[in-house]
Amino acid sequence: MQLNERHREYWRRNLRMISILLTIWLLVTFVPIYFAPELNEVSFFGWPLAFYMAAQGSLIVFLLLVGYYARAMNRLDREYGVQEDI
């Protein structure tokens, strides 16, 4: 079927959200790895910071990203009337 302007807007907003979240994902993963020796000088509740990020911190951010995207998209579906009928 033919897409209308609202459909296209839904997809643009989806793409924008994906790009923002993927940028956060990239930064949170690779910045602590790149600067690991320097960040390890900083202590975070006993952990060296880079070690903490790779062992736990980044993982928590991943969870938040995925959880946020699921909620936001399910809301966006309803806003644009493309949600499934259940």
Partner 1 sequence: MAQGQAAFYRRLKRMYSWYTCGFIIFVLLLALAERIGMSSQWIGYVFMFASIALYAVIGIVSRTADVTEYYVAGRRVPALFNGMATGADWMSAASFIGLAGTLYFGGYQGLAFVLGWTGGYCLVALCLAPYLRKFGEFTIPDFLGARYGGNAARMIGVLAAILASFTYVVAQIYGVGLITSRFVGLEFEVGVFVGLAGILVCSFLGGMRAVTWTQVAQYIILIVAYLLPVVILSTKVTGVPVPQAVYGTVLQKLTETEQTLFASPREREVNALYKARADDFEDKINGLPASLDIERTKVTARLDALKAANAPAKEIAAAEKALKNIPRNEIDARKKWGEARTLAAGKAQPPLAHSVAHAGKDAAESDRKRLNFIALVLCLMIGTASLPHILVRYYTTPSVREARESVFWSLFFIFLLYCTAPAYAVFAKYEVYTNLVGSTISTLPGWVASWGKVGLVKIDDINHDGILQLAELTLNTDVIVLATPEIAGLPYVISGLVAAGGLAAALSTADGLLLTIASAMSHDVYYKVIDPDASSQRRLVISKALLLVVALVAAYTASRKPDHILFMVGLAFSIAASAFFPALVCGVFWKRANKAGAVAGMLAGLGMCLYYASITHPFFGGDIHNAWFGIEPISSGFFGIPFGFVVLVVVSLLTPAPDRTIIGLIDHVRYPKLGGSVHAVESGSRTDR
CA distance 13 to 19: 10
CB atoms within 10 A of CB 73: 16
Give the count of residues interacting with partner 1 (CB under 8 A): 53
Which of 23, 27, 42, 67 touches partner 1 by CB under 8 A?
67
* Closest distance of CB 62 from partner 1, Å: 5
CA distance 62 to 57: 9
In sequence order, what E strands does 1-59 have?
43-44, 47-48
Told to check if 81 binds partner 1 by CB under 8 A, we report yes
Query: Do residues 10 and 82 touch, judged by C-beta distance below 8 A?
Result: yes
Residues that bind partner 1 (CB under 8 A): 1, 3-4, 6-7, 10-11, 14-15, 18, 21-22, 25, 29-30, 33-34, 36-37, 40, 43-48, 50-52, 54-56, 58-60, 62-63, 65-67, 69-70, 73-74, 77, 79-86
